Chain A
Amino acid sequence: MLRARRGTRGLRSVAQEIGEISASTLSRIEQGGVPDLETYLRITKWLGIQTEHQGLSGAGETATPELIEAHFRAEKVLPPDTIQALSDMIRQAYKWAENRGIGTNPSK
């Protein structure tokens, strides 16, 4: 949708128009990267799409690993293979933590 709306215009020009987003971030999103909330809202506003984010559920400690890969702070947009790897790592991290009794064993 973003790619179609951008048409033949350059990434840099569109990024400037959207505001507070780099051309490289825009490019990664066009290639399937997942943006953070602020970036996503800026893009949807530019696209003229209404979002209903007020009533959304927040993922806390009960979130599934697939949802909390976004905790990672190093990059605003991650490639799909990294997202998958981070999801797998989080899933494994919770197994590891359960096995160690984190949060249940006072000595841990």
Chain B
Amino acid sequence: MKHGFKTWAEKEALRLRSEMQLSEDATLPARGLAQHLKIEIATPPEIGVDEKTLGVLLGPGTSRWSAVTLYLHKTPFVVFNPTHSEQRQESDLMHEFAHILCKHSPTKVLVGGGFPFPIREYNKDQEEEADWLGATLKLPRNALLSAVKKGLTDEELAEQFKCSVPLARMRRNRSGVKMQLQRLQALKANRGWN
């Protein structure tokens, strides 16, 4: 992850809330953000995928895909899997929007050069950035700190911010909030504060 990316991600989460006239600790719904960013999102049935294909995509193949961002005339649009839980859909969409906000280059698919079939190029850095920004958009640090101070559990955080429990847990553990609170509590204990 690039130096300063995490700070930028926090600022993006706040900037977007401000543009959408939401408070800093407000829940940011993915569909609302899509509307704000003017990104069209749709499910396979909505785009007119035939029944047989739907049978695979939303049946046995449903666990194998989440969402995809495609570009037409340099304009992104997202097709997502509607069979996953609402929280998972929120995370999936945020991940895709994060790629767009980061202006990541689309995944390249390589053809020829001795390869017997098309091969995709997996960009680990871009995926990490999208994971981080997607999660930060859902749970910015200030909102997280305020909620954790109130004693919210990961489940309650997920419920309040409409995200998955693993995402809430990841943000609690990796945003620095957990350590900040632990230090604060240790300081209070040392000084005999309540």
Contacts and interface: CB of A to CB of B under 8 A. Distances in A.
B48 A92 contact: yes
Interface residues of B, number: 45
Most chain A CB neighbours (cut-off 10 Å) among B40, B69, B108: B108
A61 B74 contact: yes
B57 A59 contact: no
Given A37-B119, A70-B119, A58 B64 contact: no
Interface in A79-107: 79, 81-82, 84-86, 88-90, 92-98, 100, 102-104
Most chain B CB neighbours (cut-off 10 Å) among A40, A50, A52, A85: A85
Contacts, number: 161
Nearest to B95: A73
Given A53-B110, A67-B111, A92-B48, A97 B77 contact: yes
Interface string B90-128: 000000000000000011111111110111111000010
Contacts of B44: 89, 92
A59 B109 contact: yes
Nearest to A1: B116
A5 to B, nearest CB: 15
Interface of B: 38, 40, 42, 44, 46-50, 53, 56-57, 60-61, 63-66, 68-75, 77, 79, 106-115, 117-122, 127
6 contacts: A71-B69, A72-B66, A85-B56, A88-B53, A93-B70, A95-B48
